Chain A
Amino acid sequence: MNGLCATGVSLALGNQPILCSVDLALRRGEVTAIVGPNGAGKSTLMTCLAGLRRPDRGGVSLDGLALSTLKHRERARRIGYLPQAPEIAWRLDVETFVRLGRTAHRGVFGESPDDAAAVARALDATGMTAFTDRDVTTLSGGERARVLIARVLAGEPDWLLADEPLTGLDPRHQLDAAQTLRAFAEAGGGVAVTLHDLSFAAQAADRVVVMADGAVIADGAPAQALSPETLARAYGIDARWVPGARGPLLDILGRHD
Chain B
Amino acid sequence: MSEANEGKTLWLDLGLLVLLAVLAGLSLLAGRVWIPLNHLGDANDPRWLIVTELRIPRTLLGILVGGALGLCGATLQGYTRNPLADPGVLGVSSMAAFGAVLTLYLPLTAATWLMPVFGMAGAGVGVAILLLLGAPSGEAVTFLLAGVILNTIASAGVALALSLAPNPWAASEIMTWLMGSLTDRSILDVRAITPFVLIGGAILLTTGRSLDALTLGETGARALGISLRRTQILVAVGVGLACGAATSVTGMIGFVGLITPHLLRPFIGARPSRLLIPSALAGASLLLAADILVRVTPGANEVRLGVAMAALGGPFFLFLLISNRRRLA
Which residues of A are in contact with B by a Cβ distance under 8 Å?
47, 50, 52, 71-77, 79-81, 83, 86-93, 95-97, 99-101, 103-104, 106, 132-133, 151, 155
| B 210-241 contacts with A by CB, 8 A | 212-217, 219-220, 222-227
Tell which of B5, B217, B224, B226 has the most Cβ of chain A within 10 Å. Answer: B224
Q: Are B272 and A93 in contact (CB under 8 A)?
A: no
Q: Are B225 and A100 in contact (CB under 8 A)?
A: no
Give the number of A-B contacts (CB < 8 Å). 83
Smallest beta-carbon distance B143→chain A, Å: 15
| Cβ-based interface call for B1 (8 A) | yes
The 0/1 profile, CB within 8 Å of A marked 1, for residues 242-263 of chain B is 0000000000000000000000
Residues of B near A77 (CB, < 8 A) are: 225
A47, A88, A95, A132: which contacts B216 (Cβ < 8 A)?
A: A88
Residues of B near A76 (CB, < 8 A) are: 223-225
Given contacts A86-B216, A96-B1, A96-B5, whether A104 and B224 have CB atoms under 8 Å apart is yes
**B interface residue count range (under 10 / 10 to 19 / 20 to 34 / 35 or more):** 20 to 34
Q: Are B215 and A72 in contact (CB under 8 A)?
A: no
B5, B81, B223: which contacts A83 (Cβ < 8 A)?
A: B223
Q: Are B225 and A73 in contact (CB under 8 A)?
A: yes
Bound-complex Cα distance A107 to B1 (A)? 22
CB nearest neighbor in B for A103: B224
Smallest beta-carbon distance A82→chain B, Å: 8
Given contacts A96-B5, A96-B271, A103-B209, whether A90 and B223 have CB atoms under 8 Å apart is no
Smallest beta-carbon distance A32→chain B, Å: 19
Given contacts A73-B225, A103-B209, whether A86 and B220 have CB atoms under 8 Å apart is yes
CB nearest neighbor in A for B221: A103
Which residues of B are in contact with A by a Cβ distance under 8 Å?
1-2, 5, 81, 209, 212-217, 219-220, 222-227, 269-272
CB nearest neighbor in B for A77: B225
Residues of A near B227 (CB, < 8 A) are: 72
Residues of A near B214 (CB, < 8 A) are: 89
**9 pairs across A/B with beta carbons < 8 Å?**
A52-B219, A76-B225, A83-B219, A83-B220, A86-B217, A93-B5, A100-B215, A100-B224, A133-B1
Q: Are B269 and A93 in contact (CB under 8 A)?
A: yes
Residues of B near A96 (CB, < 8 A) are: 1-2, 5, 269, 271
Residues of A near B226 (CB, < 8 A) are: 72, 103
Given contacts A87-B220, A88-B216, A90-B215, whether A103 and B225 have CB atoms under 8 Å apart is yes
Where chain A touches its partner, the secondary structure class is mixed
Where chain B touches its partner, the secondary structure class is helix
Q: Are B219 and A92 in contact (CB under 8 A)?
A: no
Tell which of B2, B222, B223, B272 has the most Cβ of chain A within 10 Å. Answer: B223
Q: Are B222 and A52 in contact (CB under 8 A)?
A: yes
Residues of B near A52 (CB, < 8 A) are: 219, 222-223
Q: Are B225 and A95 in contact (CB under 8 A)?
A: no
Bound-complex Cα distance A80 to B216 (A)? 13
Given contacts A95-B2, A103-B212, whether A90 and B220 have CB atoms under 8 Å apart is no
Bound-complex Cα distance A80 to B269 (A)? 26
Q: Are B216 and A87 in contact (CB under 8 A)?
A: yes
Q: Are B271 and A90 in contact (CB under 8 A)?
A: yes
The 9 closest A-B pairs by CB, nearest first: A76-B225, A87-B217, A90-B270, A89-B81, A104-B225, A73-B225, A81-B223, A103-B224, A72-B225
CB nearest neighbor in A for B222: A52
Smallest beta-carbon distance A222→chain B, Å: 28
